[in-house]
Structure 1
Amino acid sequence: MANSLSHDIVIVGGGSAGIAAASSLLKRRPSLDIAIVEPSEDHYYQPGWTMVGGGVFEAPVTHRRTATVMPKGVVWIKQAAATFQPDNNQVSLQDGTVLTYELLLVAPGIRLAWEQIEGLEDTLGKNGVTSNYRYDLAPYTWELVRKLKSGRAIFSQPPMPIKCAGAPQKAMYLSCNAWEDRGVLGDIEVEFRNSGGVLFGVEAYVPALMEYVERYGIHLKLGSTLVAVDGPARIATFQTAEGEVTRRFDMLHVVPPQVAPQFVADSPLAAESGFVDVDQFTMQHVRYPNVFGLGDAGSMPNAKTMAAARKQAPIVACNALAVLDGKPPLADYDGYGSCPLTVERGKIILAEFGYGGKLLPSFPSWLINGTRPARLSWLLKSEILPWVYWNGMLKGREWLAKPHERRAA
């Protein structure tokens, strides 16, 4: 007979979104019985990996043991979820344990589908092939940047959705700036090969980014999707409208295609996209009122960033408690996401926007004009946001993230 446990609230996923939501719930109602299903002993501040790849941070500063960030008062279940049975208010774990809940939050993140690019997994971390999307590879990015004196450096971006859509560019700009400082940029041919049709999805930020593309002499190749890598031969194959194109490289920074976790995509909770099928404003499941999805696993059409999860967690906490009390959701999410684009060491274009590309700046324009590179934005990314993450977001302190209750209870 399978082991069976019961909790008020079960949260699947102990990453940024899951832990922040649990902390926000407990701030509002400390008596809640909350279980977090999370198999990993390690927790990462993933936005820091761009800085690791740019030689600004050392990798270990982005890592903590999960036990140190798990909110006090929750039950941590060190297991992976296997299947959902929302009609019975149950989640089955990989060891056969069945969890019964009154309310379910689904936040297992997004899956990096490295295997979708032929030959990539065999060559990651060697032969000049790297990615800031992995903790163990980001230091190799900086090693390659430091050693490269001439040749071709290619930076790829897959089709959407991906987490932190600006990250492929951030890696490129910081690399170019390092080469510029060393006086070797003129000897390096830099290509940005992006599957999409535009440099960045929110038009207001494109002019400033294009200034850096021109300054660094970057060859912009849109509609170009990486499909195969031959590491030993240092050849990358791209699919374009004209057919396949092969390019030799000395450095290749890869961003993998990204998909919903398989156990979510295979479940009754999934939308056609594979992500958790939720209302984009309340983040309540469209078919199961006592289920919410948040973070990168949600079907909301927002940019999948840590900043988005920071805003979503308090809103979901507020709405989840309302549903638990037999009321409709109280707060709406406006699609806020932030992408601090590191265009050079010491300067950032602070992209902040919501649904429909609407600009949603957190600061007055006299302090930070997000459409222009600024030193203050760099300070925010390098010093303030990591501290806010560890000491604020994960602990339920809702600085600049308090939900606005727009609906009548």
Structure 2
Amino acid sequence: MKKFSVVIVGGGAAGLSTASSLLARQPSLDIAVIDPAESHYYQPGWTMVGGGIFTPEQTKRRMQDVMPAKVHWIQEAVVGFEPEQNQVILKDQSKIRYDVLVVCPGLQLNWKGIEGLEETLGKNGVTSNYRYDLAPYTWQLVSQLKKGKAIFTQPPMPIKCAGAPQKAMYLSSDHWQKQCHLKDIQVEFFNAGGVLFGVQAYVPALMEYVQKYDINLHFSHRLVKIDGERKHAWFEVTIGDEKNIIETEFDMIHVVPPQHAPDFIRSSPLVDAAGWVDVNPKTLQHQKPQYANIFALGDVTNTTNAKTAAAVRKQAPIVAVNVLQYLKGSQQFAHYDGYGSCPLTVERGKVVLAEFNYGGVLNPSFPKWLLDGQRPTAFAWLLKARIIPYVYWNGMLKGHEWMVKPSLANQ
């Protein structure tokens, strides 16, 4: 049976960043990353693909090209955990042992959670920027639509990048307005939640664009069924204790599916009652004392931060520090403050850069004179379109912790 000092489950943004941050501090560390994927994706770029700004290829690399050179890449799927024995179970039923486990496989998109969706995705005007192969179809629909009804949906929280459902809507509306088609297109936003955005400070700027594009907002409306051939969608409407179903037609619909932790995570002993990996929100160490050698980060945890790559950028160095602290027997850990960022693309060339910690406390990275995060700015667009992708591929995934300085908290 193979054994490693650190085993990382997941080769996405969280897994690779953590591995690189560990190696930057201790180059001799014996690390395995377990992930079956052939490709690695820059998922924040899919909104830009759906807006006709990026090509799909700009968001994709071969996994072997981004995997840290000193890491043992185990190209298999994980199916279970035996934390009492410090073991991970692979699909072929072989087992990998560890001293410390880092769990970060991301989350699972539940396309089956909406009746009829899987059968019609990618045709009949039904699309989603939440899939690499579908984001180009979003742009095809947007660029071809001249009149009719365009629907954009948002499922119940939590989801990855909570702003992405409306980013697609704003970029589409901006295109239609500039092509003089918006007057003939009815734009509808059906949100299962009760607010436009979870941090109130950014809502006024977003509402200006809702009004600019004449978007009709529908809260507490959850997409439950879709008939692509007939171009009809059904929503469950919740008002107090009452639930009703309404039906509406569409010419195009951008769907965001419900999301949850991967099945092999939800069936494991690592999760809380809601099915997310149960960690201390500050240290990202597992809450159960018997699982003290397990850490988790990224979308799979039960922390209340926004599930974004920006959160991972801050979490990965903190997990790296804490893993090394644990390995040397120290209980003094670095703390994560809940930082997350959501660059809300409200038009081509303008972004509202939402940055906040746990509890919605604003945490801007730049002075207000340079970038006012509560207003749409061209500088924030430059960050979203040019700088952040560069930082992702050339900084974050390679262990360069730009603008992150984890320090040990006082006991």
Q: Which TM-score band applies after superposition, normalised by the shorter structure? A: over 0.9
Specify the code of the residue in structure 2 equivalent to 1:164: C
Match of 2:298 among 295, 298, 306: 295
Change (3 A) 1:329 1:250: farther
Specify the code of the residue in structure 2 equivalent to 1:81: V
Stretch moving more, 237-246 or 220-229? 237-246
Three-state SS of the structure 2 residue aligned to 1:217 is coil
Specify the code of the residue in structure 2 equivalent to 1:32: L
Q: Which residue of 1 aligns with 2:61?
A: 64
Match of 1:342 among 328, 345, 368: 345
Shift of 1:366: 0.5
Three-state SS of the structure 1 residue aligned to 2:403 is coil
Q: Which residue of 1 aligns with 2:362?
A: 359
CA distance in 2, matches of 1:343, 1:161: 22
- 1:47 paired to 2:48: no
Q: Which residue of 1 aligns with 2:246?
A: 245
CA distance in 2, matches of 1:400, 1:160: 29
Match of 1:88 among 81, 85, 88: 85
Three-state SS of the structure 1 residue aligned to 2:40 is strand
Shift of 1:402: 2.2
Give CA-to-partner distance per residue, 1:230-275, whole Å, 9 cap, x none: 0000001000025101110000000000001111111111111211
TM-score normalised to the size of structure 1?
Answer: 0.98
Alignment of 1:270-349 (within 5 A): 270-287=271-288, 288-349=291-352
Give CA-to-partner distance per residue, 1:313-334, whole Å, 9 cap, x none: 0000001110011111421001
Specify the code of the residue in structure 2 equivalent to 1:365: K
Match of 2:184 among 178, 183, 187: 187
CA distance in 2, matches of 1:233, 1:354: 44
Three-state SS of the structure 2 residue aligned to 1:64 is strand
Match of 2:135 among 113, 120, 138: 138
Ranges of 4+ aligned residues in structure 1 off by more than 4 Å = none
Specify the code of the residue in structure 1 equivalent to 2:373: G
CA distance in 1, matches of 2:332, 2:350: 40
Shift of 1:97: 1.4
Change (3 A) 1:13 1:329: farther
CA distance in 2, matches of 1:286, 1:406: 18
- 1:401 paired to 2:398: no
Match of 1:155 among 127, 152, 155: 152
Specify the code of the residue in structure 2 equivalent to 1:152: K
Match of 2:71 among 66, 74, 77: 74
Equivalenced residues, count: 405
2:17 and 2:398 in contact (8 A); partners too: yes
Three-state SS of the structure 2 residue aligned to 1:246 is strand
1:282 and 1:329 in contact (8 A); partners too: no
Shift of 1:199: 0.3
Specify the code of the residue in structure 1 equivalent to 2:362: L
1:90 and 1:99 in contact (8 A); partners too: yes
Specify the code of the residue in structure 2 equivalent to 1:282: T
Give CA-to-partner distance per residue, 1:125-169, whole Å, 9 cap, x none: 000000000000000000000000000000000000000000000
- 1:390 paired to 2:387: no
CA distance in 1, matches of 2:405, 2:75: 30
| Unaligned residue ranges in structure 1 (runs of 5+) | none
CA distance in 2, matches of 1:261, 1:274: 9
Three-state SS of the structure 2 residue aligned to 1:51 is helix
Three-state SS of the structure 2 residue aligned to 1:378 is helix
Three-state SS of the structure 1 residue aligned to 2:4 is strand
1:7 and 1:33 in contact (8 A); partners too: yes
CA distance in 2, matches of 1:97, 1:327: 32
Specify the code of the residue in structure 2 equivalent to 1:187: D
Three-state SS of the structure 1 residue aligned to 2:390 is helix
Shift of 1:407: 2.9
Specify the code of the residue in structure 2 equivalent to 1:254: V
Three-state SS of the structure 2 residue aligned to 1:315 is helix
2:332 and 2:409 in contact (8 A); partners too: no
Give CA-to-partner distance per residue, 1:197-230, whole Å, 9 cap, x none: 0000000000000000000000000000000000
CA distance in 2, matches of 1:340, 1:375: 12
Give CA-to-partner distance per residue, 1:102-123, whole Å, 9 cap, x none: 0000000000000000000000
Shift of 1:400: 1.1
Shift of 1:353: 0.5
Q: Which residue of 1 aligns with 2:163?
A: 166
RMSD: 0.7
Percent of aligned positions with the same letter in both sequences? 60
| Unaligned residue ranges in structure 2 (runs of 5+) | none
CA distance in 2, matches of 1:386, 1:246: 40
TM-score normalised to the size of structure 2?
Answer: 0.98
1:320 and 1:329 in contact (8 A); partners too: no
- 1:203 paired to 2:200: yes
Specify the code of the residue in structure 1 equivalent to 2:350: K
- 1:124 paired to 2:121: yes
